[in-house]
């Protein structure tokens, strides 16, 4: 027989339980009853949903699987949000170092971190929060609306009622305005055509139209080819039923691909047909025309502005991005117009100016001029030569000809004075004569110099006493200089013997005098001399 499995603390408790059950069977002990006052069969396990047939149980029981009796310690109250219990005047030991409250530490402090905490300033001590602990039951722990005040929903209702009231008021004002315009129009023109009356009948206020008849916006259709068959929500059919489906425009298998899942056909199904005769050119046509192109340009502008450091994001703040894009276009047009005006102001605008006269364009006209055999004008006026935009026939510095009227030796000059310096003062015929005289004088000097260089004058060669040469007979030596040269020679010989006394920066003197040469000969050791060992 199956019995209920019960956990006992000791063998003694198990023994007592068995004795109690035996006593109940014999009728010596009262039977165990449930909440309804009925006797509980000890042989039926309390965890079974239906008792076995051989136990002859009256009914199954599952009361052991749930705690039926509610604990009186459980509460339905909630936290008192933002409640304070005590306001201290000075910092207390163990309180939060940031704000000074005793109910939390500095790590859990929700106040803004102060530059100097309340522990050190002893000022602006925050009050202690009200700390509450509740023992909730199973439903209370999992109730998402626990602690919600239903009275706060009244604000939502008031906001929606105010919006509906404002909408009704606005629609009423619009209706009155339309009636006033209609009355004024009837007063001005009594004869109103039937077409105008039909249009006024069709312009019914949107508030008077039933919600179920507003352009099929509230029409709910069932899903097609689905097992659930659930509703698709609000459906608005934008295609007229008489129109041909896009996948039926061209039945060729090699034509534009139609995606049945997204109902899109990107390419043009009829590329060879006249564009004026077809109403559908593919989905890609919509992406490169109309507002789709403007939206694409807006996205590109947002990306470029973000890369350049501006705080702009198309998805996070679309209104801000669109406003910045409009301002950018206005500034760009202003800058373009300003640049155009500056260029036109500097160089002029050939398109807006008046047409040039024919004399300047072609160099000819229809005027008739007659000349005689001598070249004098007999009839008509001589045609004036067209002038350029540069200054002409302007003579400076008393010149009677312009710069560039004379050329000589690859140089430009003035014809009046034959000068090649542009800013020179005109000297006239006297300047030409002086220039020619100076040129003749220079030529004669050059010729005389050339003749003198051909016959050079004889020069006496000075023979100096050099190293290895013989001393001339008429050589006269200065005794003081000779003495100094002998001293220098001795010092030089000492330096050669001991290189440690040689200085770092040695200055050499290549100038050798006759005294230096004589001192060198006097101090020179002759290896063939038999008395060389007795010199020093």
Mean pLDDT, rounded, for 451-478? 62
Is 301 found in the same domain as 280?
A: no
> In this structure, is residue 205 part of a structural domain?
no
- Residue written as token pair 């206005």: 330
> In this structure, is residue 273 part of a structural domain?
yes
The strand pairing partners of 371, in sequence order, are 377
> In this structure, is residue 375 part of a structural domain?
no
Is 319 found in the same domain as 306?
A: yes
> In this structure, is residue 305 part of a structural domain?
yes
Is 299 found in the same domain as 284?
A: no
Residues 6+ apart with CB under 8 A from 56: none
What domain range includes position 429?
A: 398-452
Is 284 found in the same domain as 297?
A: no
For residue 164, give Cα distances in angstroms to 83, 88, 161, 168. 37, 50, 5, 6
> In this structure, is residue 421 part of a structural domain?
yes
Is 308 found in the same domain as 274?
A: no
Indicate the pLDDT class of residue 46, thresholds 50, 70 and 90: very low
Q: Lowest-confidence range among 4-13, 23-32, 260-269?
A: 4-13
Domain count, the chain: 5
Long-range contact list for 517-521, CB < 8 A, 24+ apart?
517/465, 517/466, 517/467, 517/471, 518/471, 518/477, 518/482, 518/485, 519/482, 519/485, 519/486, 519/488, 519/489, 520/489
The top-scoring range by mean pLDDT among 21-25, 159-163, 312-316 is 159-163
In this predicted structure, what is the pLDDT of residue 210? 46
Is 29 found in the same domain as 58?
A: yes
Q: What is the DSSP string of 481-527?
A: HHHHHHHHHHHHHHHHH-GGGS-SS--------HHHHHHHHHHPPPT
Do the Cβ atoms of 236 and 224 come closer than 8 Å?
no
> In this structure, is residue 214 part of a structural domain?
no
Is 271 found in the same domain as 316?
A: no
Q: Residue 129 above 90 pLDDT?
A: yes
Q: Residue 420 above 80 pLDDT?
A: yes
Mean pLDDT, rounded, for 181-197? 71
> In this structure, is residue 129 part of a structural domain?
no
> In this structure, is residue 278 part of a structural domain?
yes
pLDDT (tens digit, 9 = 90+) per residue, 237-264?
Answer: 566 667 788 888 888 888 899 998 988 9
Question: Distance (Å, rounded) from C-alpha 237 to C-alpha 216?
Answer: 8
């Amino acid at each position: 027989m199956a019995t209920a499995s019960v956990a006992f603390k000791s063998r003694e408790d198990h023994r007592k339980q068995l004795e109690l059950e035996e006593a109940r069977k014999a009728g010596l002990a009262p039977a165990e009853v449930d909440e309804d006052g009925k006797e509980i069969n000890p042989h039926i396990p309390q965890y079974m949903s239906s008792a076995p047939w051989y136990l002859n149980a009256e009914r199954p029981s599952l009361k052991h699987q749930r705690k039926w009796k509610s604990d009186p310690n459980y509460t339905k109250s909630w936290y008192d949000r933002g409640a304070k219990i005590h306001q201290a005047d000075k910092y207390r030991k163990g309180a939060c170092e940031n704000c000074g409250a005793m109910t939390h530490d500095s790590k859990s402090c929700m106040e803004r971190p102060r530059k100097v905490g309340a522990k050190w300033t002893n000022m602006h001590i925050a009050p202690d929060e009200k700390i509450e602990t509740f023992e909730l039951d199973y439903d209370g722990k999992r109730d998402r609306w626990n602690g919600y005040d239903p009275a706060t929903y009244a604000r939502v209702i008031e906001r929606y009622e105010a919006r509906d009231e404002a909408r009704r008021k606005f629609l009423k004002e619009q209706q009155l305005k339309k009636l006033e315009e209609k009355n004024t129009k009837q007063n001005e023109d009594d004869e109103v055509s039937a077409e105008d009356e039909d249009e006024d009948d069709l312009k019914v206020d949107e508030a008077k139209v039933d919600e179920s008849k507003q352009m099929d916006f509230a029409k709910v259709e069932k899903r097609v080819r689905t097992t659930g068959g659930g509703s698709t929500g609000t459906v608005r059919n934008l295609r007229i039923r008489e129109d041909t489906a896009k996948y039926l425009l061209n039945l060729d298998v090699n034509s534009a691909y139609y995606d049945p899942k997204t109902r899109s056909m990107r390419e043009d199904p009829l590329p060879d047909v006249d564009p004026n005769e077809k109403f559908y050119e593919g989905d890609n046509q919509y992406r490169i025309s109309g507002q789709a192109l403007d939206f694409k340009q807006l996205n590109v502008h947002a990306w470029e502005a973000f890369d350049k450091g501006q705080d702009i994001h198309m998805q996070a703040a679309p209104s801000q991005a669109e406003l910045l894009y409009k301002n950018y276009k206005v500034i760009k047009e202003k800058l373009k117009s300003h640049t155009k005006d500056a260029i036109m102001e500097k160089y002029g605008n050939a398109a807006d100016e008046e047409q040039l006269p024919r004399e300047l364009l072609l160099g000819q006209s229809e005027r008739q001029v007659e000349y005689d055999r001598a070249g004098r004008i007999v009839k008509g006026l001589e045609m004036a030569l067209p002038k350029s935009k540069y200054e002409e026939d302007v003579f400076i510095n008393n010149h009677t000809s312009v710069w560039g009227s004379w050329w000589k030796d690859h140089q430009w000059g003035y014809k009046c004075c034959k000068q090649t310096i542009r800013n020179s003062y005109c000297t006239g015929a006297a300047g030409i004569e002086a220039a020619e005289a100076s040129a003749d004088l220079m030529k004669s000097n050059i010729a005389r110099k050339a003749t003198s260089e051909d016959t050079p004058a004889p020069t006496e060669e000075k023979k100096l006493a050099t190293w290895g040469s013989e001393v001339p007979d008429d050589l006269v030596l200065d005794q003081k200089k000779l003495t100094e040269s002998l001293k220098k020679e001795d010092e030089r010989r000492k330096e050669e013997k001991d290189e440690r006394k040689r200085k770092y920066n040695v200055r050499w003197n290549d100038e050798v005098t006759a005294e230096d040469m004589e001192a060198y000969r006097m101090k020179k050791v002759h290896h063939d001399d038999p008395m060389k060992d007795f010199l020093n």
